[in-house]
Amino acid sequence: MADRFSKTAIDRLGRKLAETTSPDAADTELLLAYLRQASSALDHTLMVVARVVSSLPAGAHVLHVTHRVKTIGTIIEKLRRGTGRLSQMQDVVGVRVVGSLGLAPRTSCRRSLQTASRARTWTIAENDPATDTVPCT
């Protein structure tokens, strides 16, 4: 994510949101601007996911790709629980790629996504035995 906001400013906003019972309009607008910035990175990441998915080897099948942006209410609740600073919240936006992938395609998927996207982290989960699918989030 491009640094339109300094970490200090983001964390100051996070502390203020966590400490108030009702955020004022200015703080809400700052958080919305931060979420728009994160959404821009999400758009880029979705293009990278489409490219990676289209180049998976034979035998690897993607069942679906989903994404989401965390809501303002959820962000504030998480900040109030004291789970860290806003600048370190890693799940403000997220992408999930679910499919039947072997170990090599799963590793390739993660490496390609980490190399080509601006996302901080990519987690590759183990197969879900009930569905034989692997989320690549």
Measure Cα distances from 45 to 20, 53, 103, 106, 130 in Å.
33, 12, 22, 17, 28
pLDDT at 134: 47
- Put simply, whether the predicted model's pTM sits higher than 0.75 gets the answer no
CA torsion through residues 49, 109, 85, 2, sign: negative
pLDDT of residue 111: 77
Contact status, residue 14 vs residue 87, Cβ threshold 8 Å: yes
Give the start-to-end residue ranges of the domains of the chain.
7-136
Query: Residue 116: its pLDDT value, please?
Result: 67
Q: How far apart are CA 79 and CA 118, in angstroms?
A: 24
pLDDT at 121: 58
pLDDT digits (tens, 9 = 90+) for 79-123: 999 878 998 887 788 888 787 777 777 777 777 777 766 555 555
DSSP bridge partners of 94: 68
Architecture in CATH of 7-136 = 2-Layer Sandwich (3.30)
